[in-house]
Structure 1
């Protein structure tokens, strides 16, 4: 197939500048070469809104020492570290990364969760204020669509850990006014709202009475309920209580990670679909590959032993050269195809309307799979899906239409209340 003609034709088609009959718009992506398919996927990524349910840039800025009193991290240019910046987002076609307002569980005990949330929200807004030609805050799907037309990257926000609500139900409405559009009910520990998947204490056996108030208030004000991180009991309590669909902003399928409750099992995915929700697949190695942690431990143990035997530290140039070579030859990372496997599995259980992207970029360290190391690489995943027979319409649903459907349903229920 002629690449130039493919690029020109697909670009016009995706941009909507040519009218075609249903027969004419059918493209057999599976018959393309890998290079042609990647070109088609890249064109598709650049002409389709891509929403990512979870990017941890705000906390990356905090860890990097950036504060409200100092300049924010310059992500308008290519950065040396991390997974997100404007140039790489443009390369990958990312248009609306949900900025994670991440509140570590320790703030539940030491206090200050709401204060931290406020500072991270202001830091995120500073990005849009500093580079208004590149970034814009987004509080609705309509905002994202408008910014997409303007060539700007939207910055919707979700609060990761309901601890920021503290013990005051009025803070749900407060955070809506601050721009928060989903709240992940728990994080690594049980909190005042309910139990966490990571906490074996099972303090409450699911949602608390206060947690039930929080879910209802989120429904009322128009904040999406995010069930990533919650225990199974908390999930089922939420599903029984909520009046509108919910999201899992950055979770994957437990089928591939047996015993990892942080992911969702088949029954949960099926129920989420029946209730019109969406699971946004996490790209992190331990989320998509049940053997990843074991393989990583083996490599880590070898390196520690080699350093001791050679009386070297990691900072020594000889050690760095050896570690680079050894890790390259003993690659522990899964491949982008495994992320597609998770999407396939969700589609098989619930359907194409109930899955999306929730990378956890800037939040899962260096565990990201080959082919999905940063925000420039969404076309690699799209190409893999096209190879498996997904259509352009399917890709659009995964990229943004599914989460927009949930978001609009939550908006509509709020405005009608």
Structure 2
């Protein structure tokens, strides 16, 4: 019997926005219904990424449009993909024949346009977590993507956001945030929070990853870390080669985003072109699937097996490890975890039970 898998983060909403049909297949991307089924992904969180380049008045609408797209994909799936908001709803959907339960998330608090009313509207749409920042500082939260900010951590409005999310049962996601923002979330949050798609800085030092102390803080608060599958966050040699060969790739991708802000299709085409170039030039240093397991094991050794999960970032990254072409690779990842000595009980926690606990702690 296959072990069911929960994935805390994919950016497939952007693929849907540019015309991908998850029912008939999505060859340009990492996720579609057939591959979710092959990967035994019974719970997938679909993140709606909102660019910080979008001006006020458009960011919230962009989030709602992406959520509309995921809901439309569910509606056209003939019951294979079902939007849910709770673990109990996911259980019922799967018992009724669904292949995958879809949870909604928003990536980048820029989406709420400094409005708690907009935050509440997202929760009413079924959004279960929000990543506070992306790669740029917000007026109310500092990001790990920038070295400087006019303030540290959370500004007063950011503190209100965390309190409101706790109150309405929306999980706080600290992937992408600055260390001072994580510090403030730890001080303020009354509920477990997550880093939905982050890796261990001890294995791959970069601002985007989490130090051991930060991982301990998240675990101490009852949260979890979703391991990101991007080689540039998994492997130091890959990250060094990427910087030497391609410079700041993500700054380049951000420039593409700005140039095609009003044309998602052109933006997707340009981003795929950059990703193809990157995969060709980075092939010799691409890490194996084992590097994902290295990060899982690091977190387990550090804080135990209750505080780690998967947060692949499928359809949001330009490259993946060898042996991980798409979401159908999860059984191979779990098999490697078994080969390296992780018990079935630990694997069951990492593959799904840990996120269920956090969901139930944020009703």
Settle same-fold status: TM greater than 0.5. Answer: yes
Taking a change above 3 Å as real, the CA distance of residues 166 and 387 of structure 1, as seen in their structure-2 partners, is same
Q: Is the 8 A contact 1:186 1:193 kept in 2?
A: no
Taking a change above 3 Å as real, the CA distance of residues 76 and 262 of structure 1, as seen in their structure-2 partners, is same
SS of 2:44's equivalent? strand
Alpha-carbon RMSD = 2.0
Q: Is the 8 A contact 2:310 2:350 kept in 1?
A: yes
Taking the TM superposition and a 5 Å limit, the aligned residue runs for 1:11-410 are 11=1, 43=2, 45=3, 48=4, 50-62=5-17, 64=18, 66=19, 73-107=20-54, 109=55, 111-149=57-95, 150-258=97-205, 260-296=206-242, 327=280, 331-365=284-318, 367-410=319-362
Q: Is the 8 A contact 2:218 2:224 kept in 1?
A: yes
Number of aligned residue pairs: give it. 333
- Deviation track 1:261-284 (CA, whole Å, cap 9, x = no partner) reads 111100000111111100000000
| 5+ long unaligned stretches in structure 2 | 248-275
* Aligned-pair CA distance for 1:255: 0.8
* Aligned-pair CA distance for 1:154: 1.2
- Deviation track 1:214-244 (CA, whole Å, cap 9, x = no partner) reads 0000000000000001000000100010000
* Aligned-pair CA distance for 1:328: 9.6
Tell me the TM-score normalized by structure 2: 0.87
Higher fraction of helix: 1
Q: Is the 8 A contact 1:54 1:97 kept in 2?
A: yes
Larger gyration radius, structure 1 or structure 2? 1
SS of 1:95's equivalent? strand
CA distance in 2, matches of 1:93, 1:100: 19
Taking a change above 3 Å as real, the CA distance of residues 266 and 300 of structure 1, as seen in their structure-2 partners, is closer
* Aligned-pair CA distance for 1:329: 11
* Aligned-pair CA distance for 1:378: 0.3
* Aligned-pair CA distance for 1:165: 1.3
CA distance in 2, matches of 1:165, 1:273: 28
CA distance in 2, matches of 1:372, 1:267: 29
SS of 2:92's equivalent? helix
- Deviation track 1:108-147 (CA, whole Å, cap 9, x = no partner) reads x454110101100111100111123211101111122222
CA distance in 1, matches of 2:244, 2:164: 47
Q: Is the 8 A contact 2:56 2:113 kept in 1?
A: no
CA distance in 2, matches of 1:406, 1:230: 19
* Aligned-pair CA distance for 1:148: 2.4
- Deviation track 1:151-172 (CA, whole Å, cap 9, x = no partner) reads 3311101100011111211222
Taking a change above 3 Å as real, the CA distance of residues 204 and 328 of structure 1, as seen in their structure-2 partners, is closer
SS of 2:284's equivalent? coil
